[in-house]
Structure 1
């Protein structure tokens, strides 16, 4: 029988990528904050940034350089329009890409939005020992990603394995 594990709260940062959202109407970012705090994690920081790859990259870089931040979740900018640049901003920062995240996110999303899910460029990876998740900008997509993928992988109690148990080894050479 496996030994019981205790929940380990993490420090998470949330980034909303949008040219139009403000704190007053940031439904997606607020959905992520609600989910992570309800799960017992701590919100380390939350920002809203325009859909500009260099501004996105600057904020995410700041968080991955901060040893207090263990995971970053961004919402928005993962579509296919000319202004959608989150994957282009984040991908160069990643040490490793978690390809399965985007694949499973689209598989789960297909149940709700059918073939429209192919427009999502959701992605995840690791940079400097920090997990990064980039999800679409709708509040529904944020809830789907949090409830079906991120929440369990950021919970040390999840069996057979989870991302938290790998954290001590992320910076191994």
Structure 2
């Protein structure tokens, strides 16, 4: 059974958040607020947060910045996962993955289906590993960010979550 083993120590993880949007700014970025609040409430560190336009070069530059930043363990992006012409986040980031995490999308859609029904198919959320940085590409709505965090990420980035979690494998990501 999945559980939190209170006898184990909690190890905080460092996050960066990139919001992909042509219309949001620091005052209207509810998805970024949602992620920042949940990251901090869980006892983790937010290293930095930014907003970039729905533009392949801007998205790629933000991802490259996060991956190059030794203080960042996890990058979460929000926005640009739909099907409109400006929705290019997964198309930009997936080719950068060293390893794709197919299970994240499957679990996210299962969770999301319980909340928004079949509308979940309108998201192309994805995740993977670039070097030693975990990257999660979420839809742009605050609800989707909440659902991904509360139902998946909060457990996988809790070093006490059993039977396994990402924190315990982080030291081994450089193995060859």
TM-score by length of 1: 0.97
In structure 1, C-alpha distance between the alignment counterparts of 2:165 and 2:28, rounded to whole Å: 33
Partner residue in 2 for 1:170: 173
In structure 1, C-alpha distance between the alignment counterparts of 2:64 and 2:78, rounded to whole Å: 16
In structure 1, C-alpha distance between the alignment counterparts of 2:96 and 2:14, rounded to whole Å: 20
Work out which of the residue numbers 106, 111, 114 in structure 2 matches 1:111. Answer: 114
Does residue 54 in structure 1 map to residue 57 in structure 2? yes
Q: Contact 1:65–1:128 (CA<8 Å) still a contact in 2?
A: no
In structure 2, C-alpha distance between the alignment counterparts of 1:44 and 1:22, rounded to whole Å: 19
Task: Give, in angstroms, the shift of residue 3 of structure 1.
Answer: 8.7
In structure 2, C-alpha distance between the alignment counterparts of 1:29 and 1:59, rounded to whole Å: 15
Task: Give, in angstroms, the shift of residue 11 of structure 1.
Answer: 1.0
Task: Give, in angstroms, the shift of residue 79 of structure 1.
Answer: 0.7
Work out which of the residue numbers 65, 90, 99 in structure 2 matches 1:96. Answer: 99
Partner residue in 1 for 2:163: 160
In structure 2, C-alpha distance between the alignment counterparts of 1:73 and 1:92, rounded to whole Å: 16
Does residue 87 in structure 1 map to residue 90 in structure 2? yes
Q: Contact 2:15–2:74 (CA<8 Å) still a contact in 1?
A: yes
Structure 2 unpaired stretches of 5+? none
In structure 1, C-alpha distance between the alignment counterparts of 2:23 and 2:58, rounded to whole Å: 15
Task: Give, in angstroms, the shift of residue 109 of structure 1.
Answer: 0.5
Q: Contact 2:6–2:160 (CA<8 Å) still a contact in 1?
A: no
| CA deviation profile, 1:88-135 (whole Å, cap 9, x unmatched) | 111121110110000110111011111110111111111110101111
Task: Give, in angstroms, the shift of residue 18 of structure 1.
Answer: 0.3
Partner residue in 1 for 2:45: 42
Number of residue equivalences: 172
Please report the RMSD computed on the Cα atoms of aligned residues, expressed in angstroms. 1.1
Shift in CA distance, 3/35, structure 1 to aligned 2, threshold 3 Å: closer
Runs of 4+ in 1 over 4 A off after TM superposition: none
Task: Give, in angstroms, the shift of residue 66 of structure 1.
Answer: 1.4
TM-score by length of 2: 0.95
| CA deviation profile, 1:41-89 (whole Å, cap 9, x unmatched) | 0110000000011110111111101111000011001111110011011
